[in-house]
C-alpha cells in the first residue's frame, strides 16, 4: 500500500489530462514487435508530444516488450511538446507484478532528458536476484539496502530490498539523456544508443574526477595518466592513487561499453580526453571529445571532434 501511495504522490505533481488504455482506439497491439510504437506513446503523439515520443517509446519497449501493460499518460495541456510528460505502466506477470513510471522532457540541443523508475516483486530471494544481475557492480548503500550500477550506464542504478516472504523487491531507476527522433545521430540500434550514453557518462565522470584531483593536489595539477584517479580499497588516497573513480575506468587500455578512451594533459593548465568506438559503426556511431572546459563535443565521424562540431554541456 505504501508503494501505491508513493506513486500517487508522483502523479499528483502533474496537473494534466490523462489517457487510460481501455478504449478500442488505443489498443494498437505491437505483439512484441520492437519496431512498432507502443500504445502509450501512440496516445502521447495524439495529444501533440512529438520531440521526445521516440525516447519514451524506447524505454517503454525496454520495460514491457509485449506492450500488454495498462498505462496512464499525463502531460501539460499548454505548449504540450515543450514540457515534460509522464507514462505509468502496470502489469501482472505470471511470476511477478511490475509497475513503472517514465518521464521525458525536451531540452536544448534537440535532445530529451528521460527519467524512469521500475518496481517489481520477485518470488526469488535477493541473493538469487544478485546472481541474475551479477554484472551489475556494487555502488553504495542506501540505508540498509545495497545499490548497484548498470554496467552499460552509470546513470542507471538498482536497489534490492528483501521482503518478509523470502522474495525480493527490485527498484531500478535511471536518468538518461537521449537523442530526439529527428536528430541525424540517432541510431535505431538500442545497443549503440546505450553505448553512446554510457560514453557520455564516462566522459562526465572523468571531468569531475580530474577537477577534484587537481584541486586536491594543486602542485601536481591534472595527472599524467588516468591511472592516478583510481586505486584499490586497501590503498590510501594519494597523488599516485586518487581513489576518485572505479578501477575499470582507471586501468589501461581504458575501454568500457564499446568505447576506448585516450587522455593527455599539460600540468595544471589543460587536459583532453577522446572517446572513440572500438568498432566504429558497430559499437558506436559517435566520437566524443572533452577537455578542461568541461564541454563534451561529438561527431559522426571516427575522428576527434573540433570546435565546429556539436557540443553537449
**DSSP assignment of 51-77:** TTHHHHHHHHHHH-TT--SEEEEEE-S
Does one domain contain both 86 and 30?
Answer: yes
Number of domains composing the chain:
2
Q: Are residues 132 and 195 in the same domain?
A: no
Instruction: List CB contacts of 152: < 8 A, sequence separation 6 or more.
Output: 194, 195, 198, 257
Residue that wins the pLDDT comparison between 240 and 24: 240
Residues in Cβ contact with 82 at an 8 Å cutoff, skipping those fewer than 6 apart: 76, 106
End-of-domain residue from the set 159, 179, 199: 179
Q: Of the candidates 141, 159, 179, which is a domain's last residue?
A: 179
**CB 72 within 8 Å of CB 18:** yes
Question: 160 with 38, same domain?
Answer: yes
pLDDT score recorded for residue 32: 39
Instruction: Check whether 185 has a pLDDT greater than 80.
Output: no
User: Is residue 102 included in any domain, yes or no?
Assistant: yes
Domain-embedded: residue 209: yes
Please tell me whether residues 232 and 194 are part of one structural domain.
Answer: yes
For residue 136, what pLDDT is reported?
83
CA distance 215 to 196: 29
Q: Are 55 and 114 in contact (CB under 8 A)?
A: yes
Please name the residue ranges forming H helices in 116-189: 126-132
Q: How far is the C-alpha of 63 from the C-alpha of 72, rounded, in Å?
A: 15
Residues 264 and 293 in one domain: yes
Do residues 19 and 43 lie in contact, with contact meaning Cβ atoms separated by under 8 Å? yes
- CATH number, residue 214: 3.30.540
Q: Which domain holds residue 262?
A: 190-312
**Of 87, 81, 83, 16, which is closest to residue 51 (Cα–Cα)?**
81
Pair (32, 98) in one structural domain: yes
Helix residue ranges, H only, 111-244: 126-132, 190-216
Query: Ramachandran region of residue 37, left (φ > 0), alpha (ψ -120 to 50) or beta?
Result: beta
Same domain membership, residue 165 and residue 282? no
Question: Facing residues of 306 across strands?
Answer: none
Same domain membership, residue 87 and residue 21 = yes
Q: What is the pLDDT of residues 7-58, one digit of tens each?
A: 333 333 333 444 444 333 333 333 334 447 889 999 999 999 988 888 888 8
pLDDT tens-digit series, residues 271-289: 999 999 998 888 888 999 9
For 104, the enclosing helix (H) or strand (E) is: strand 97-107
Q: Is residue 57 part of a domain?
A: yes
Q: Residue range 238-259: average pLDDT?
A: 86
User: Which pLDDT score is estimated for 97?
Assistant: 87
SS3 of 107, please?
strand
Q: What percent of the chain has pLDDT over 90?
A: 27
Indicate if 195 and 171 belong to the same structural domain.
Answer: no
Q: How confident is the model at residue 61 (pLDDT cuts 50, 70, 90)?
A: confident
Residue 184 domain-assigned (yes or no): no
Cα angle vertex 37, ends 191, 49, to 5°? 105
Domain boundary among 179, 205, 230: 179
Chain centroid to Cα 270, Å, comes to 29
Would you state the pLDDT for residue 93? 73
Distance CA 86, CA 303 (A): 38
Alpha carbon distance 115, 40 (integer Å): 16
Amino acid at each position: 500500500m505504501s508503494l501505491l501511495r508513493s506513486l500517487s504522490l508522483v502523479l499528483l505533481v502533474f496537473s494534466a489530462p490523462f489517457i487510460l488504455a481501455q478504449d478500442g482506439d488505443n489498443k494498437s497491439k505491437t505483439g512484441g514487435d520492437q519496431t512498432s510504437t507502443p500504445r502509450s506513446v501512440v496516445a502521447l503523439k495524439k495529444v501533440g508530444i512529438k520531440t521526445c515520443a521516440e525516447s519514451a517509446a524506447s524505454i517503454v519497449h525496454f520495460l514491457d516488450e509485449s506492450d500488454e501493460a495498462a498505462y496512464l499518460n499525463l502531460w501539460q495541456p499548454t505548449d504540450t511538446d515543450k514540457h515534460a510528460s509522464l507514462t505509468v505502466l502496470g502489469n501482472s506477470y505470471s511470476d511477478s507484478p511490475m509497475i513503472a513510471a517514465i518521464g521525458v522532457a525536451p531540452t536544448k540541443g534537440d535532445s530529451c532528458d528521460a527519467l524512469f523508475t521500475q518496481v517489481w516483486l520477485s518470488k526469488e530471494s535477493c541473493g538469487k536476484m544478485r546472481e541474475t544481475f551479477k554484472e551489475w557492480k556494487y555502488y553504495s548503500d542506501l540505508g540498509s539496502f545495497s545499490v548497484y550500477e548498470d554496467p552499460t550506464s552509470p546513470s542507471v542504478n538498482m536497489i534490492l530490498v528483501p521482503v518478509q516472504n523470502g522474495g525480493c523487491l527490485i527498484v531500478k531507476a535511471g536518468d538518461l539523456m537521449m537523442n530526439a527522433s529527428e536528430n541525424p545521430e540517432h541510431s535505431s540500434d538500442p545497443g549503440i544508443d546505450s553505448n553512446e550514453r554510457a560514453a557520455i557518462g564516462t566522459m562526465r565522470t572523468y571531468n569531475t574526477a580530474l577537477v577534484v584531483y587537481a584541486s586536491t593536489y594543486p602542485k601536481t595539477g591534472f595527472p599524467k595518466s588516468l591511472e592516478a584517479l583510481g586505486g584499490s580499497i586497501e590503498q590510501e588516497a594519494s597523488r599516485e592513487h586518487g581513489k576518485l573513480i572505479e578501477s575499470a575506468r582507471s586501468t589501461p587500455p581504458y575501454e568500457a561499453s564499446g568505447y576506448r578512451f585516450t587522455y593527455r594533459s599539460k600540468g595544471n593548465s589543460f587536459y583532453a580526453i577522446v572517446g572513440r568506438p572500438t568498432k566504429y559503426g558497430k559499437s558506436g556511431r559517435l566520437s566524443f571529445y572533452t577537455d578542461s572546459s568541461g564541454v563534451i563535443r561529438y561527431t559522426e565521424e571516427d575522428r576527434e571532434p573540433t570546435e565546429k562540431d556539436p557540443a553537449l554541456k
